Structure 1
């Protein structure tokens, strides 16, 4: 399944990228993220791998992020692998005014198990909703300093 999500952030591109390019900030906009751990490569650079640990109450999840392109301030691409799913993310950032940044995120989910294939087929809106929510959380973090850790 492929889809594109976009959002306008009321902040200059440099500020958006500064906050995006921080592992420490991830917990403020990715609800459920407990901690991260470096796996291999130079952190934040092309080819680097990081394990992300999430806790969604009754469901725990680990993802391995692999950076596939890092061309800030305009692009950041990565893959995310977890049991049953391979996710390809392509993120584009564009200054559309002195104090506005457009973030476009292209997502592709490739299920690797029958169960996840069924989930993707039966509930595609859940994946799209989660992507849009993370983008809104990031927007609120940048614009208002709101953190999902405070909820």
Structure 2
């Protein structure tokens, strides 16, 4: 499954990146995030890996993030791996006249095993959840201007 979503955040790009790049802010805008733990390298730097644990229903879901590109303030890319799922996530941050930032998120999801069936049935939910997370960041960032 592949899709691109975008939204405009009424925050100058420098402030957007400051908020986006701080792991201390993750719980404020990532719904269900329980913990973020650096595993290898410096979190947020290319090649680093981190473990993210999310509440999911009555259980939890663990995801491993690998940063693949850090070209801030223009771009930040990574892969996210969980049981039955691999996501390549490419982010672009476009400056809009110094007053706002257009966030463009390109996603490619690959599913294996049982998750392939889930993806077929709930593909639109994945897109909706991704946009919900982006919107949560937008609300978080705009409240801090």
TM-score of the superposed pair, with normalisation by structure 1 = 0.92
Report 1:56-95 matches (<5 A).
Answer: 56-95=56-95
In 2, Cα distance between the equivalents of 1:59 and 1:74?
A: 36
In 1, Cα distance between the equivalents of 2:50 and 2:9?
A: 26
Residue in 2 that maps onto 1:40: 40
Structure 1 gaps, min length 5 = 146-151
Mapped pair 1:138 → 2:137:
yes
What are the Cα deviations for residues 22-75 of structure 1, in whole angstroms up to 9, with x where unaligned? 111111110100111111112221000000011134131000000000000000
SS across alignment from 2:44: coil
Residue in 2 that maps onto 1:29: 29
In 2, Cα distance between the equivalents of 1:129 and 1:42?
A: 31
Mapped pair 1:127 → 2:126:
yes
In 1, Cα distance between the equivalents of 2:59 and 2:97?
A: 41
Q: What do you get for the CA RMSD once the two structures are aligned? A: 0.9
Residue in 2 that maps onto 1:149: none
SS across alignment from 2:31: coil
- Structure 1 runs (4+) deviating above 6 angstroms are none
How far off its partner does 1:144 sit?
A: 1.3
In 2, Cα distance between the equivalents of 1:43 and 1:133?
A: 24
